[in-house]
């Protein structure tokens, strides 16, 4: 990124310092984020110790003053930042002040402020983007006169996504775990630690996604096509949660260890961090666009490392029940993530790329910490460094799907993951493959009946 890029008059209000879990987090461009919250001049977002700044987005027209004298605005921001560290003020005091401000709930009834660590807020407790986005002008969020009637279909792409989800329906009873019990005992201690932590997160994560759908998204979205998808997704999240709970119940025999894993949100730090991040977004007063991106990260980034770990077991020909259920669930979650990206593309006013990059970066940092904790020892063909690169690769792919530039520009370190999307070749009568979908439903989307006409000339 060009450090001398002039300010373009974008942005407003409070900006992001980094009050994060660890010092030294970067912004994806090699610069460290500041460790305190500070108000700066409008049109600025502070990048750290070298006092550089980059523009934040505004949806209002740019002022003539900001366009004529961008450098004077930058100088004001730099001077204001320097004054924060006078002889009478220490960084530790600033951090304490920032943390105390960060813990303050928003002034509306939607719960605490948004969860991006270090995000600072204006006096009304809202992020700058939210003040600029007129959500009542978004067609998909506006009250619909025919909200309770499915037809006529207006958003055909959303409807087709719903039909794909419907065609992919499965139940936990279809997964055979008989071979897994014996093969679980053959795993090494490190492998058991890895798999158990992955399942511990998954067992609770689907419930968190379900909570977001029930408490927020179904109240936000007004168009019937999207509400139909979310309604079906809720049913599938219940099946996913049941499946992961069955896996833990089957593999873990020690009651104390089983209880610890079932309560991983309270007992395991790396799992708690992921859950807290997602739960805070549910409670936040952020705009729908921000929350939509955040939960695309939950299903697209938070799940990526765990899915990859289980596919690594499949590559070794182990744990057939676990790996088959993982195929089904990863396919479902991929569809959910694709739907989020499709829905985001329908928003008239979208987030500035810096805001989206910041949300994605937070998810990458937390998922990387989870992987490093869950995978403390290098396994054959799998270690935390490779997994961290894979997470960044997935994050870049998500950014592109949302319509933004990549952050990390890394290649997929696991070439075998490229084959996951290929059609399964399992004998259908031996076991339903992960790519299987209800034939009668999908054929209706592929045989030209896209207008969903009622016909009476069929043979019965």
Q: Which residues pair with residue 382 across a beta bridge?
A: 379
How distant, in Å, are the alpha carbons of 69, 132, 139, 222, 239 from that of 135?
Answer: 32, 9, 9, 12, 33
Q: Using an 8 Å Cβ cutoff, are 62 and 8 in contact?
A: yes
Distance CA 129, CA 333 (A): 28
Cβ neighbours around 136 below 10 Å, total:
8
Distance CA 360, CA 363 (A): 5
**Which are the catalytic amino acids?**
244
Distance CA 154, CA 344 (A): 16
Q: Using an 8 Å Cβ cutoff, are 100 and 322 in contact?
A: no
Greatest alpha-carbon span in the chain: 87
Residues contacting 84, CB < 8 A, separation 6+ = 36, 38, 94
Distance CA 211, CA 213 (A): 5
Q: Extract the tokens encoding 248.
A: 């833990």
Q: Extract the tokens encoding 32.
A: 């460290």
Q: Which residues pair with residue 46 across a beta bridge?
A: 53
Distance CA 69, CA 62 (A): 12
């Amino acid at each position: 990124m060009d450090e001398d890029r002039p300010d373009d008059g974008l942005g407003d209000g409070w900006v992001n310092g980094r009050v994060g879990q660890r010092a030294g987090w970067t912004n994806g461009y090699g610069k460290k984020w500041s460790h305190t919250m500070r108000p700066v001049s409008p049109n600025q977002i502070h990048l750290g110790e070298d006092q550089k700044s980059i523009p934040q987005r505004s949806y209002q027209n740019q002022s003539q003053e900001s366009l004529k004298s961008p450098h004077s605005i930058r100088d004001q921001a730099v001077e204001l930042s320097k004054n924060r560290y006078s002889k009478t003020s220490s960084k530790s005091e600033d951090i304490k002040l920032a943390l105390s401000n960060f813990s303050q709930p928003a002034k509306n009834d939607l719960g605490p402020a948004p969860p991006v660590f270090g995000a600072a807020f204006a006096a009304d407790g809202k992020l700058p983007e939210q003040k600029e986005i007129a959500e009542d002008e978004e067609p998909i969020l506006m009250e619909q006169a025919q909200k309770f009637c499915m037809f006529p279909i207006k958003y055909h792409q959303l409807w087709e996504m719903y039909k794909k989800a419907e065609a992919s329906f499965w139940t936990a009873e279809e997964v055979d775990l008989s071979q897994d019990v014996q093969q679980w005992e053959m795993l090494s201690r490190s492998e058991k630690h890895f798999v158990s932590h992955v399942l511990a997160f998954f067992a609770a994560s689907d419930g968190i996604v379900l909570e977001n759908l029930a408490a927020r998204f179904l109240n936000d979205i007004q168009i019937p096509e999207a509400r139909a998808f979310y309604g079906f997704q809720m049913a599938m999240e219940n099946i996913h949660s049941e499946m992961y709970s069955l896996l833990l119940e089957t593999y873990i025999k020690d009651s104390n260890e089983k209880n610890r894993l079932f309560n991983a949100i309270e007992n395991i730090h790396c799992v708690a961090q992921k859950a807290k991040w997602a739960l805070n977004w549910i409670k936040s007063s952020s705009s729908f666009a921000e929350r939509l991106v955040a939960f695309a990260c939950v299903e697209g980034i938070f799940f990526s490392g765990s899915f990859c770990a289980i596919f690594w077991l499949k590559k070794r020909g182990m744990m057939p029940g676990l790996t088959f259920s993982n195929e089904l669930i990863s396919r479902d979650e991929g569809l959910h993530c694709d739907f989020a990206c499709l829905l985001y593309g329908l928003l008239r006013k979208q987030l500035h790329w810096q805001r989206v990059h910041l949300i994605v970066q937070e998810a990458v940092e937390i998922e990387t910490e989870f992987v490093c904790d869950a995978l403390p020892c290098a396994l054959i063909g799998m270690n935390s460094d490779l997994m961290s690169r894979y997470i960044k690769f997935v994050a870049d792919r998500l950014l592109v799907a949302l319509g933004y530039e990549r952050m990390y520009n890394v290649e997929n370190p696991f070439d075998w993951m490229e084959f996951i999307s290929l059609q399964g070749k399992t004998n259908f009568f031996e076991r339903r493959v992960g790519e299987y979908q209800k034939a009668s439903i999908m054929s209706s989307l592929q045989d030209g009946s896209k207008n969903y006409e009622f016909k009476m000339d069929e043979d019965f």
